[in-house]
């Protein structure tokens, strides 16, 4: 209210000044013009800087998207190469290259990471095949359990308590076999031998002994080891969750034995 009164008083005084002394109008016009010019230059320059920053940001986003796409394609090529080496004694016409698929996924409500929904542009025969999910870094993400409808499938991830896998850990010059058990907050591997010697940072891979997962799929790294009453040991793992940000994964199917 006070500023409105000040504005009215100033406007009245300027109006009286112009009416009483007309040359003052020209003086006021020049003064106002000078003030506006003085203000407009830094504003214009500031807008130019902002526009330049926006352009650089858009270019950066475009570059990051392209790099992400190239990285995904590179991972796919690496995975294809790994699969082909396993069939090097088979005729090229018999190599199941079409088993390697790309898929997008979404979470099952409230961003629960223990189960995801996959969209795969191909019908999967889950009665005859194990179909498992890999990240763009080729680490094990989960296994497909059911066809929801059409091209949509549900998969249990390595963060699901029902997810188990036969694994091994190489530590120094020794190799230890264990059982991986999934968990949302504390995925772990259990050793029946209490004398195993593993350490923080050791990597955990699938053994392929159960003929479900292929040999050598990376799951995670050991972050701590617990001795349970002297009967067996438990190693807790850190699993990379960055694949959740990519919204794309690989699906690879293998015939059941």
pLDDT value for 161: 94
What percent of the chain shows pLDDT beyond 70?
A: 60
> Tokens for 197?
């010697």
Q: Is 104 helix (H, G, I), strand (E, B) or coil?
A: strand
Q: Is 239 helix (H, G, I), strand (E, B) or coil?
A: coil
- For the chain, what is the mean pLDDT? 75
More confident residue, 242 or 111: 242
Task: Give residue limits of the domains in the chain.
Answer: 1-95, 100-158+251-255, 164-238
* Averaged pLDDT, 142-148: 94
66-to-2, 6, 52 alpha-carbon distances in Å: 57, 58, 21
CA 62 to chain centre: 17
CATH number, domain 164-238, options 1.20.1300.10, 1.10.3720.10, 2.40.10.350, 3.20.20.150: 2.40.10.350
pLDDT digits (tens, 9 = 90+) for 180-210: 999 988 999 999 888 888 999 999 999 988 8
pTM over 0.85: no
pLDDT digits (tens, 9 = 90+) for 95-123: 344 467 889 998 876 677 899 999 998 89
Burial class of residue 70, CB neighbours in 10 A (0-12, 13-18, 19+): exposed
Residue 171 pLDDT greater than 60, yes or no = yes
């Amino acid at each position: 209210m006070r500023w409105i009164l000040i504005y009215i008083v100033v406007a009245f005084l300027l109006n009286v000044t112009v009416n009483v002394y007309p040359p003052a109008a020209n003086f006021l016009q020049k003064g106002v013009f000078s003030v506006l010019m003085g203000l407009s230059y830094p504003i214009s320059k500031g807008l130019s800087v902002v526009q330049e920053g926006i352009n650089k940001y858009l270019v950066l986003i475009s570059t990051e998207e392209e790099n992400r796409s190239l990285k995904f394609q590179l991972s796919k090529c690496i995975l294809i190469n790994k699969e082909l080496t396993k069939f090097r004694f088979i005729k090229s016409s018999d190599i199941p290259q079409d088993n390697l698929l790309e898929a997008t996924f979404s979470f099952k409500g409230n961003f629960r990471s223990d189960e995801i929904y996959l969209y795969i542009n191909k019908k999967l025969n889950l009665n005859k095949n194990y179909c498992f999910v890999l990240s763009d870094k080729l680490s094990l993400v989960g296994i497909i359990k059911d066809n929801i409808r059409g091209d949509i499938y549900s998969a249990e991830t390595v963060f699901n308590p029902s997810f188990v896998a036969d694994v091994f850990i190489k530590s120094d010059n020794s190799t230890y076999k264990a059982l991986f058990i999934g968990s949302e907050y504390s995925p772990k591997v259990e050793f029946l031998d209490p004398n195993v010697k593993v350490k923080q940072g050791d990597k955990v891979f699938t053994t392929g002994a159960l003929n479900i997962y292929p040999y050598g799929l990376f799951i995670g790294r050991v972050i701590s080891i617990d001795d349970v009453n002297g009967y067996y040991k438990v190693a807790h793992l850190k699993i990379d969750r960055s694949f959740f940000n990519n919204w794309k994964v690989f699906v690879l199917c293998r015939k059941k034995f």
